[in-house]
Structure 1
Amino acid sequence: MLDLRPVFYALGAFVCMLAVSMLIPALVDLFFGHPDWPTFLIAMFVSGSFGIMMMLATQGSNKQLNLRQAFLLTISVWIILPAIAALPMAFSILDLSYTDAYFEAMSGLTTTGSTVIVGLDDAPPGILLWRAILQWLGGIGVVVMAIAILPMLQIGGMQLFKTESFDTSEKILPRAGQISGAISGLYVAFTAICAILMMLVGLSPFDAIVHAMTSIATGGFSTSDASIGQYDSVAVEMVSMTFILIGSLPFILYLQVLRGRTLALWRDQQVKTFLIALLTLILVVAVWLMVFKGFTITEALRYGGFNIVSIMTGTGYASTDYGQWGSFSVTLFFFVMFIGGCAGSTSCGIKIFRFQVLFKSMKAWINKTIQPNGVFIPRYNGSPIARDVQSSVLSFLILFFVILIALTFLISLTGVDWVTAFSGVGTALANVGPGLGDIIGPAGTFKPLPDTAKWLLSFTMLIGRLELFAVLVLFTPTFWRG
């Protein structure tokens, strides 16, 4: 019998943490004189009471989680916390339905960046900050999950990093808890540096903090409907792009750099492949814009570079409406959003390492076909890739596209056109943000979609953030039988 008490105790602690976070936007609304500040206090009281009751009801239970409990807690946190985080938005003067509020909260915590809010420029400052806080918390949550939880659960090839995350990490710091603490400290430091630089290039302190939080989290929530393009500033875009890239690299490698392994980042195959792919795509888009759209080389590199970085890492900022660049660019951007950044970062998507494992495995299989008596062993960072990792990655990729097609079909049944349905599911599954078309493109919002479609997309964001298997395993009878 699965003991749920440790799960509920830990879940209650997470809810309390989120409730305390609501005090910050309440104080911001109060500081700016906005009348919406009591909504955060009401939501804080309701959610805090709920969290405390959960902890009191399960007090004294065994705090050590086994494998099944870790699965259940991971999924429960990413379902319940958006439900709690939606309360201030549902209570606010924005007058969002609970469906819209939950969609927005799920988009925030999963660092997707899709929004249903129209008129961000006039939205309460507390709500704008709350959205940024959700993405910031979701970003560090993703990093810790990728380092401590997903490798243990052997999800989608993440077991490839089990030894790397713990054996190698323990040479840096003695325990996984300390590693998480050190990474959190690093995350805070990056955010603070980004905010300072944003202010130095002309942003107000409020805008600088919001964009710093959502840049390092590769989330993409902005304070304006025009996104980062509202500033029309090369300096702002460069600062944001720099910290988006920082957030897209494995945080465990930053710790290794700080502890003396100065070349740890540059020796990592995943990082090198990611940067090479990014640079290649930027050059392709820049050439396209110069040849077919008449951009100067400076404009092409500026707009092409920023938007490729934003989409590939799953951030979802837009410095311009790239939907107007033509079918080639739109199609390229659509496929690029599935790539993602590095494992162990705040970015999303399929992740670079899975493509590396797939290509190295395919190369070994082809060589084996040509030379049946030869021995060909695919390697990653100098180590052989285990069979279970190869099978896990292949299963992940197949399941990814099966889910993409199945959910596209379901959402199309709600009356949504195929382009919107397909790109909406794609951007939700890859946790990117904007889709394609006039409705959910970089200049649109998800507000016009039917409620059923929004709930389906919320579920899609969840399974995309949790690497598919962590959610789907709950639907197997074996899990509940133990």
Structure 2
Amino acid sequence: MSESVRSVLFVLGIMVASLAAAMLIPALIDLNAGELQSAGAFLWSAAGCGFLGLAIAMAVNTEKRDLTTRAAFLVTAGSWLVLAIIAALPMRFGGHGLTFIDALFEAISGLTTTGATVVTGLDTRPPGFLMWRAILQWIGGIGIIVTAMAIWPLLGVGGMQLFKLESSDNASEKVLPRAAEIAAAISLIYLSLTLICAMAYAFTGMSGFDAIAHAMTTLATGGYSTRDASLGAFTEGGSDVVAMIFMLMAALPFAAYLMMVRGRPAALWRDPQIRGFVTLVVAAIVAMAAFVVAADIYEPAAGIRTAAFNTISVITGTGYATADFGVWGAPATAAFFVLMFAGGCAGSTTCSVKIFRYQIALLAIRQHIISLAHPRAITPLHYGGRPVPPETVYSVLGFLFAFIAIFTLSSAVLGAIGLDTTTALSGAAATLANVGPGLGDIIGPAGTFQPLPDAAKWVMMANMLIGRLEVLTVLILFTPRFWQS
């Protein structure tokens, strides 16, 4: 067995064992609540998966554990799938009425922080089950930050090389040590913001349990709630205002927070993607609020608040809802569909295309138009005060093309399965962009994905994984050259 394979298996083994240890938290919560079947499923899953993970890690343990580029691709792609299968076990066997496909769908949606759910009756579900869903999203949130900041920039995935924190001559060959350094710093910031968010939720009147669960899913921009009414069940205390603040904070690059902690507070606003994101959010909120007020859907104060919350939730891909915006009319439905493809900043917990890729693509188009008008002119492309090499532009454009192609293909497949046009299009968009709820009567903010046929759920599960792994990370695994020695 090669050192590269041993390194991949070692990392996956440690991840499986760590996820198994996390199962003890919902197990204890359910034991305390007297939910013995659910608690037993968590305990047995923790024991079995913990043993499996540690056995694999010990069997392939080696002193040399540097991940090569190829191994890093395998770890980032394989970890989400393996962990999702492990995470689904206690949901399948805990007496929650979920088939294996539904349990796997819920686990993938949780870990990818999509927030699309097949579960109904959340108000009466065991507390450990609800906390497990929140934990999965919280883990997925920190996981995506670390890979987006430490792994993908070194691999040049989708233009992420723009966001290398530090250069390294051997970065393409040795990924793990740098990732560990970044993970430690970012995890502390992520944990701190989660605790602050939980305290803010508790201040608005949420119970301690609800505050912790919602803080986890807010910072992860995941959107799983403990109530069927989502955040709409807590708006009287002002929890929706807290959610808006922390959804926006989670949509900003955590690298900027790291720089602020290290004495560079101006780094937050100097980032062009942050300025672009803020501009988009403000413009979208103003337009949506003006529409709902002009259409007499809400009074001005309620309209601004409701429009702001749901607009931020969709742009950041969180998936919370305080209203069924599917009944606001065709203009609002079309606007929310477009906003699903926005996303936040690179190095955040958000999803979808992300702002910087649109900015790079527009700069490239502008450069091309100038070159057509002035063939001899030299117009270098700069972003954030730094020159953008051609390979980065190709990476961004390649990502955009692949994203659109997969969205088109998955929409067509969902339509062929039998879904109506609105459900097929919005379902493909919501899962590939990791937004959560779609549009329409079935999977809209007031519905769930449970009624969909199993074939559609498989397509959407694939979309969630592909979208969360920045598309190219998955597609490269299907190229023959990747597997050549």
TM bracket (short chain): over 0.9
Q: So what's the TM-score if we normalise by structure 2?
A: 0.95
**Counterpart among 212, 221, 226 of residue 223 in structure 1:** 226
Unmatched tracts of structure 2, length 5 or more: 172-176
- 1:477 to 2:476 alignment: no
Query: What is the CA deviation profile of residues 159-205 of structure 1, one whole-angstrom value per residue up to 9, with x for unaligned ones?
Result: 1112x4557xx9xxx96533321110010000001101111110000
Cα deviation 1:417-451 (Å, max 9, x = unaligned): 22211111111110000001111000000001111
Aligned to 1:84: 86
1:7-66 per-residue CA deviation (whole Å, 9 max, x = no partner) reads 111100000000000000011112222222111101111211221221132123741111
Equivalent residue letter for 2:289: A
1:406 aligned to which of 405, 409, 427: 409
What is the alpha-carbon root mean square deviation over aligned residues?
1.6
Q: 392, 411, 423: which one pairs with 1:389? A: 392
Q: Secondary structure at the match of 1:413?
A: helix
Question: Where in structure 2 are the equivalents of 1:359-378 lying within 5 Å?
Answer: 359-378=362-381
Report the residue type matching 2:28 in the other structure. L
For 1:56 and 1:264, how far apart are their aligned partners in 2? 42
| Cα contact 2:352–2:434 (8 A) shared by 1 | yes
1:481/1:18 CA distance change after superposition, 3 Å: same
Amino acid at match of 1:263: A
7-16 or 178-187, larger mean C-alpha shift? 178-187
Report SS of the residue matched to 2:417. coil
The one-letter code of the counterpart of 2:278 is L
Q: Equivalent of 1:157, from 145, 150, 159?
A: 159
Amino acid at match of 1:349: S
How many residue pairs match? The answer is: 476
Equivalent residue for 1:112, pick from 111, 114, 118: 114
Q: Quickly say closer, same or farther: Cα 1:61–1:412, change in 2 above 3 A.
A: farther
Partner AA of 1:98 in structure 2 = F
User: How far apart, in 1, do the equivalents of 2:240 and 2:21 lie?
Assistant: 32
| 2:205–2:237 CA contact under 8 A, matched in 1 | no
Asked if the contact 2:151–2:179 (Cα under 8 Å) also holds between the matched residues in 1, the reply is: no
Aligned to 2:449: 446
CA distance in 2, matches of 1:140, 1:216: 9
Q: Which runs of 5+ in 1 are unaligned?
A: none
Query: Where does residue 380 of structure 1 map in the other structure?
Result: 383
CA contact (8 A) 2:20 2:49 kept: yes
Q: State the alpha-carbon separation in 1 of the partners of residues 297 and 240 from structure 2.
A: 22
Letter in 1 for 2:13: G
The separation in 2 between residues aligned to 1:379 and 1:234, in whole angstroms, is 46
Aligned to 1:100: 102
What's the CA shift for 1:296? 2.4
Q: Name which of structure 1's ranges 31-40 and 329-338 shifts more when overlaid on structure 2.
A: 31-40
Local SS of the residue matching 1:233: helix
| Deviation of 1:294 (Å) | 4.4
1:278 pairs with one of 253, 260, 281: 281
CA distance in 1, matches of 2:96, 2:180: 39
How far does the alpha carbon of each residue in 1:59-118 deviate from its partner, in whole angstroms, 9 at most, with x for none?
237411111111111111011000000011001121211100000000000000000001
For the 8 Å contact 2:341–2:429, the answer to whether it is kept is yes
1:200 aligned partner = 203
Which residue pairs with 1:187 in the alignment?
Answer: 190
Deviation, structure 1 residue 365? 1.2
Report what 2:70 is aligned to. Answer: 68
8 Å contact 1:312–1:340 — kept in the other structure?
Answer: yes
1:45 aligns with 47
C-alpha distance 158-422 of structure 1, shift in aligned 2 (>3 A) = same
Amino acid at match of 1:373: R
Confirm whether residue 354 of structure 1 aligns to residue 353 of structure 2: no
Q: Provide the rounded CA distance (Å) in 1 between the counterparts of 2:342 and 2:116.
A: 18
Of the structure 1 ranges 372-381 and 393-402, higher mean CA displacement relative to structure 2 is found in 372-381
Deviation of 1:234 (Å):
6.1
Match of 1:128 in 2: 130
The residue type equivalent to 1:34 in the other structure is E
The residue that corresponds to 2:174 in the other structure is none
Question: What is the one-letter code of the residue matched to 2:44?
Answer: I
CA distance in 1 between partners of 2:419 and 2:364 (Å): 39
Name the aligned partner's letter for residue 38 of structure 1: G
Task: Answer yes or no: is the 8 Å Cα contact 1:166–1:176 preserved in 2.
Answer: no
Q: Is contact 1:229–1:320 with CA below 8 Å preserved after alignment? A: yes
Seen in structure 2, the aligned counterparts of structure 1 residues 50 and 155 have a Cα distance that, compared at 3 Å, is same
Distance 1:454 1:61, change over 3 A: farther
State how far apart, in whole Å, the 1-side matches of 2:463 and 2:244 are. Answer: 27
